[in-house]
Structure 1
């Protein structure tokens, strides 16, 4: 019996040598990886007895860049921004455009009070507080043991 070692870095390298290396060099390039990870901001969602907290990391934006809306039970957070930069030199003109847009949507639980949502944007983080309805808050009471 012959043991064959598996190297996950070089899949099918015996069949198509160099084939995977080409794709890894192109798709692993920072140009593509930066575009894939930067397209949607990261979100943290937490819950307490009183409310739900949503924190969306979006550095470099202003609070005017955000659009937050609720339609039925869907909370949508979106942003669209475009920048233009130009520099002129001797005989040529160079322009660079930068567009970025994202939309994140969340289904609100029935226990969330959509009429009392509060949002703030500080230090690159959009923080939203979704209070719970009074009947949904956890009620605790002491039970006497007899």
Structure 2
């Protein structure tokens, strides 16, 4: 039986090294920009969303996914099931404009992410449902009846 598997959307980040064991120039640049640079220059840019943290729980009857995505509305989510691939995405644009006597300030932002999961063939895709509450997206993925684990049974020896 296959387990629920995360499928990277934009490829996986792999550390590149040259023959001498030092990081390559491209990985050095990637690492430089991956650090928390909260300088005046970078703090003025919209950070958007990073990939949200995901908890995956399995019990005898279901898989449950929990994604931490605060500040969204349920209408912001796009959940799609294509064959056995579950895609969860958000694309959100915001714009604030303040007009005052002496100045105009206009700020805008764009946030997005997409996570995909390969579902095992043991799930009942017709009964998948999702609920967004208190910044957590909960996705309930029930297993098919024949995939549910049966309780232990004692076999008598004759």
TM bracket (short chain): 0.7 to 0.9
More helix by share: 1
1:141 Cα deviation from its structure 2 partner? 3.5
Instruction: Please state how far the C-alpha of 1:122 moved relative to its aligned partner.
Output: 0.7
What is the aligned-residue RMSD (CA, Å)? 2.6
Q: Residue 47 of structure 2 aligns to a residue in which SS? A: helix
TM-score, normalisation: structure 1 = 0.73
Matched, 1:62 2:73: yes
Question: 2: distance between equivalents of 1:142 and 1:73?
Answer: 32
In 2, the alpha carbon distance for the partners of 1:40 and 1:141 equals: 40
Unaligned runs of 5+ in 2: 1-30
Q: Which residue of 1 aligns with 2:137?
A: 126
Is residue 29 of structure 1 aligned with residue 37 of structure 2? yes
- Is 1:76–2:87 an aligned residue pair? yes
The count of residues paired between Structure 1 and Structure 2 equals: 123
Bigger Cα Rg: 1
Measure how far apart 1:92 and its partner are.
3.5
Whole-Å Cα distance in 1 between the matches of residues 93 and 156 of structure 2?
Answer: 65
Q: Alignment partner of 1:35: what SS?
A: coil
The higher-RCO structure (CA 8 Å, 6+ apart) is 2
Give the equivalent residue in structure 2 for 1:96.
107
Question: Match of 2:149, SS?
Answer: coil
